[in-house]
Chains A and B, each alone.
Chain A
Amino acid sequence: MPVKPDCEKLCPEWPCDDPFEFKGVWVVAEADENELNEASLQMLTPAKKIASKLGEKIVGILVGYNVKKWADELIKHGADEVIVVDDERLKTYYPRVYGQVIVDLAKKYKPSVILVSATMRGREMAPYIANTLRTGITADCTDFDVDEKTGDVLMIRPPFAAIMLAYIKTPFRKPQMGTARPNVFPVPPRDESRSGPVIEEKAEIIPPGMELAYYKPVKREEVLIEKAEIIVSVGKGIGGPDGVKLAEKLASLLGGVVAGSRKAVDAGWIPPERQVGQTGKSVKPVLYIAIGISGAAQHMIGVREAGRIVAINIDPDAPIFNQADYGIIGDYREIVPALIEELERLKKEGPKAIEELLKEEEEAAAS
């Protein structure tokens, strides 16, 4: 059971709320006229885990202009109900304006938990919401749980150096807020039979104190690394931008994309939006080929969800060999071209070439 706080002991800047009044697990959805961000749907997965342990409802929150149409999508993917603020004055996103609308909704409805996907917009807005509600927030959680004794939500995140997990709770304040990076959780399956109430709310819209003066959409030409099935990733060990060209050639043969470690980004070989790891992105490809990546914990945290990891490294003591499925000790400058050559040959010869390839091993074993 939650404990009612001793109001005398709390910072007078905070409201002293009765924790028993707070119910419901909110997922703040990121949407505009054209798109409901898939990362928001992903947050319904941890919401379900928390809500079922607390015995509370999952509530989707939609704030914007022409966004009511997404309510059904949230419900089909697991929300029990949706609260919508659909207002033409919300056509342009301003973090403080959107944040304040959600703060006002939270003051009215008193949810026990608010989850926000840590997209760029989510990372900008969520701490404003938490702070204005004078409550705690835990960024970039990799899992959530509920303390059975107290009912506190445990926000689980890797802290310093990414080797440990910290369980963070917010015992004296509600709502409890947490964010998770895109693709840490899957989108719950769509269930056509689901339905639920959609509540339309009017909100007071504060003056933004700022104005969007210029907007130019950037084309997404390439597959985002978060969505790639095969990733060829490069680290400091490639030694220069030429290595990136080899990686690109390998990736294109495999229908994959190129990414890199922090060091490769720092060196300017890989753009920051393609950085994998603690200060970059979490990815979950079927296959992750790490070239010249030593295997620092800060990097490996970003590939925990990868299906298989291949490591190519010249240093036999590189820690990555202990964290990969298939490791090859050697110079990538020789091995990657050979790999490209073999793949090109296979591609030309067709699927039957696999049999011959596998037979070679039997012969080697037999001799």
Chain B
Amino acid sequence: MRIVVGIKWVPNTQAVRFDPKTGTLIREGVPSIVNPHDYPAIELALRLRDKYGGEVIAVTMAPPSARQGLEHVLGMGVDKGVLLTDRAFAGADTLATSYVIAKAIEKIDKEIGHVDVAIFGHETIDSSTAHIGAQVASWLGWPYVYYARDAELVEDGKLKVRRQTERAIEEYVLNLPAVVATAIKALEPRPIRLLHKLRAKIEQPIIVWTNNELGLDKRCIGLKGSPTVVANITFMPEVPRKKIVYKPKDPKDAARWLLRQLFKDEAVAPFLKKALWG
């Protein structure tokens, strides 16, 4: 099997802090990481390869610094990396991003070898749209399924994918090629191994494709290829809260103070009474 896995090089949003004095985001020194929700996708791709043979190719559209992210996943055992990087790709929304990724998958299929599955993480931590999997499936005309927890090959070379929704546990059998998006934390990712890192250092299996190699119409990529436009950014209005903070003498005092506040508060009191005495 040849499996493409899409990854994103994202700012670590957990490290972003808010400056209450200036009302701005403190982004300086915020390191970039491989999007955490991509790890189940990487792990699923590696498990399929380990079981059925073939190779895993990680693809990312990003500035050149994302090479670090590709090196990181090569350390997990991914076979090759493809870095799609070009100033012309900048400012892309999800439609323009998925277009470049879909075209790169077509190019991999043509030049490196037949692609059976493209796997994506559920969403990214920096924009959380969960769009890319479905959009790539739309460009390629492949069947797709989200929220995957596991997958295996079944008869006729089809892929059985197990997933869970709010309603049910489901198994779908997909004709290949297909797109699969994993659920958040569906699979525990394997650790980095020195052996893989050394191999990556020696073999340098990272391919860089700019738009010279992809040859895409400039009107379909980056800002120009993006139907959505950010018209404005404002601060979110603060929700008015009472902000009464109490430092209790002892736990009992804390409990009684809180209950007094809640029973005096008409927004809450009727619900508490209902809960306690029906």
Chain A residues in contact with chain B, CB under 8 A?
9-14, 94-96, 99, 119-121, 123-128, 130-132, 134-140, 147, 152, 154-155, 158-173, 208-218, 220, 229-230, 253-256, 265-266, 272-273, 278-279, 286-287, 297-298, 301, 304, 307-310, 316, 321-330, 334-335, 337-339, 341-343, 346-347, 350-351, 354, 357-358, 360-361
Contact = CB atoms under 8 A, between A and B. Distances in A.
Interface in B235-263: 235-236, 239, 241-248, 251-252, 254-263
Nearest to A137: B131
A279 B251 contact: no
Contacts of A147: 231
Contact of B131 (A127, A287, A316): A127
A360 B252 CA distance: 13
A121 B272 CA distance: 35
Given A210-B143, A357-B263, A325 B251 contact: no
Given A11-B219, A135-B227, A335 B251 contact: yes
A169 B131 CA distance: 17
Interface stretch (B1-9, B48-56, B110-118, B160-168): B160-168
A213 B18 contact: no
A324 B259 CA distance: 15
A196 B79 CA distance: 58
Given A139-B131, A212-B171, A330 B142 contact: no
Nearest to B175: A209
Interface SS of B by simple majority: mixed
A328 B257 contact: yes
Given A321-B245, A358-B260, A360-B256, 11 more contacts: A11-B220, A13-B220, A164-B234, A167-B232, A209-B142, A310-B258, A323-B239, A325-B241, A326-B244, A328-B248, A335-B248
A250 B30 CA distance: 38
B81 interface: no
Contacts of A287: 262, 268, 271-272
Given A255-B275, A310-B258, A339-B258, A95 B245 contact: no
A351 B273 contact: yes
B235 A165 contact: yes
Contact of B146 (A123, A172, A279): A123
Contact of A165 (B162, B217, B233): B233
A360 B258 CA distance: 13
Most buried by A among B139, B227, B229, B239: B227
A140 B123 CA distance: 12
B202 interface: no
Contacts of B273: 351, 354
A213 B235 CA distance: 47
A42 B217 CA distance: 40
Interface size for chain B: under 10, 10 to 19, 20 to 34, or 35 or more residues?
35 or more
21 contacts: A11-B217, A11-B219, A12-B217, A12-B220, A13-B217, A99-B138, A119-B166, A124-B134, A131-B135, A170-B227, A173-B227, A210-B143, A213-B173, A215-B171, A218-B166, A230-B271, A253-B276, A273-B166, A304-B239, A324-B242, A325-B244
Interface stretch (B58-66, B91-99, B189-197): B91-99
A291 B170 CA distance: 35
A201 B167 CA distance: 28
Q: Which 9 A-B pairs have the closest CB atoms?
A: A136-B227, A209-B143, A136-B228, A338-B251, A214-B171, A11-B220, A131-B138, A327-B245, A255-B275
Contacts of A212: 170-172
B146 A328 contact: no
B8 to A, nearest CB: 13
Contact of A321 (B93, B224, B243, B261): B243
A interface SS class: mixed
A137 B132 CA distance: 11
Contacts of A279: 123, 125, 128, 184
Given A121-B165, A324-B243, A161 B235 contact: no
A135 B126 CA distance: 22
B271 A127 contact: no
Given A137-B228, A139-B131, A361-B260, A339 B254 contact: yes
A253 B126 CA distance: 38
Given A12-B220, A139-B130, A212-B172, A124 B93 contact: no
Contacts of A139: 128-131
Contacts of A96: 137, 143-144
A209 B25 contact: no
Given A11-B217, A165-B233, A327 B255 contact: no
Nearest to A140: B128
B255 A339 contact: yes
A216 B169 contact: yes
Most buried by B among A161, A217, A342: A161
B97 to A, nearest CB: 11
B209 interface: no
B229 A165 contact: no
B213 interface: no
Interface in B198-230: 217, 219-220, 224-230
A95 B94 contact: no
A335 B255 CA distance: 7
Given A137-B131, A307-B267, A343 B259 contact: yes
Contacts of A167: 230-234
Contact of B258 (A155, A173, A328): A328
B28 to A, nearest CB: 14
A167 B268 CA distance: 34
A161 B258 contact: no
Which residue of A308, A329, A337 has the most chain B CB atoms within 10 A of its CB atom? A308
Contacts of B145: 95, 124, 210
